[in-house]
Amino acid sequence: MAALGWLTPRRRSATARSVLAGEAAAEAARKSSLQLEQEREEAAATEAEAAEPEFPVVGDVRAAAFFDLDNTVMQGAAIFHFGRGLYKRKFFQRRELARFAWQQAWFRLAGVEDPEHMQDARDSALSIVKGHRVSELMSIGEEIYDEYMADRIWPGTRGLAQAHLDAGQKVWLVTAAPVETATIIARRLGLTGALGTVAESIDGVYTGKLVGEPLHGPAKAEAVRALAAAEGLDLSRCAAYSDSHNDIPMLSLVGHPYAINPDTKLRKHAKDRDWRLRDYRTGRKAAKVGIPAAAGLGALAGGTAAAVALHRRRH
């Protein structure tokens, strides 16, 4: 048997066994420590997530939401759609329709507001409605909404507005479009109301002039500030939504600014300031540079076709 002793494992010394036990305990301790640390981090994250108030905050009556209209709530510009409806009702001639068609195509392709185009559209609209009764245009505006605007509402943006309404908050449109048109759209969408450009009227008849200036850029911020003061709102708890860098003054007023279908400048500004961003347009190009791809191409084709057709008819 002695000859086979080398085949039988020798028992380790007490010192070796102690070292082995110590090393195993240390390894187990390290693993359990890491596991406990991970569990604590997960618990802290869950606690922080639970502590963060949902947005919009249900029942916060000092909070409200302000939505730009053109290309934020609705594809394209409301004033251009309104112009199409007025042309259909023979308020103006074909050459004006060609201008409206081209401006609308450009606006939807570029995805940004061009001050010169917008001013031209407003001047045209004012000259067209001059001498007409406000009540007449309101009635026609209801029809125009059904014909040209109802199918151009962005479902995603409408969902955001509905979330505020469901939370018990007021929701306002803020737009350079005529206040009458904006009010019709707000009512149809179930919103609280609208801030818009006010056209002068005397005894219920349009004079062809504006009260002040178009509600655009800084004027929107002033309108929101004035309404918030009148309504007792806390702007730091309010939200604002827009697609245009022209509305940065309005977006900067509130505690919860959102860039919706943003143009290039607003997208950069929003990313630099960590603002929330939503893009409901389709197409890789739209996501990259802020162009409403499919809709824009359709608008270009439609607008160009309309302009060409009118040109041929005139000549």
Q: pLDDT band for position 41 (50/70/90)? A: confident
Q: What per-residue confidence (pLDDT) applies to 101?
A: 58
Name the percent of the chain lying above pLDDT 90. Answer: 47
> Which segment of 32-36, 227-231, 268-272, 295-299 scores lowest on mean pLDDT?
295-299
70 is catalytic: yes
Q: What per-residue confidence (pLDDT) applies to 112?
A: 53
- Beta strands at 239-242 and 256-260: parallel, antiparallel or unpaired: parallel
Q: What per-residue confidence (pLDDT) applies to 246?
A: 93
- Which tens digits make up the pLDDT trace of 154-179? 999 999 999 999 999 999 999 989 99
Q: pLDDT band for position 235 (50/70/90)? A: very high
Which of 14-23, 70-79, 225-234, 297-306 has the largest mean confidence?
A: 225-234
What mean pLDDT do residues 57-76 have? 94
- Cα–Cα distances (Å) from 105 to 81, 92, 282, in that order, read 11, 20, 17
Q: pLDDT band for position 210 (50/70/90)? A: confident
Q: What per-residue confidence (pLDDT) applies to 280?
A: 94
Nearest to 129 by CA among 94, 83, 176: 83
State yes or no: pLDDT of 227 exceeds 90.
Answer: yes
Identified catalytic residue from 70, 243, 247, 263: 70
Q: What per-residue confidence (pLDDT) applies to 82?
A: 87
Strand order in the sheet with 276-278: 193-197, 170-178, 64-67, 239-242, 256-260, 276-278
| Number of neighbouring beta carbons within 10 Å of residue 62 | 15
Q: What per-residue confidence (pLDDT) applies to 117?
A: 57
Name the percent of the chain lying above pLDDT 70. Answer: 71
Q: pLDDT band for position 281 (50/70/90)? A: confident
What mean pLDDT do residues 65-82 have? 92
State yes or no: pLDDT of 314 exceeds 70.
Answer: no
Q: What per-residue confidence (pLDDT) applies to 97?
A: 58
146 is catalytic: no
- Which tens digits make up the pLDDT trace of 95-153? 665 665 555 555 545 545 555 555 665 666 677 788 889 999 999 999 999 999 999 99
What mean pLDDT do residues 53-79 have? 90
- Which tens digits make up the pLDDT trace of 259-269? 999 999 999 99
Identified catalytic residue from 60, 68, 247, 263: 68
Q: What per-residue confidence (pLDDT) applies to 124?
A: 62
State yes or no: pLDDT of 294 exceeds 90.
Answer: no
Which of 17-21, 54-58, 73-77, 91-95 has the largest mean confidence?
A: 73-77
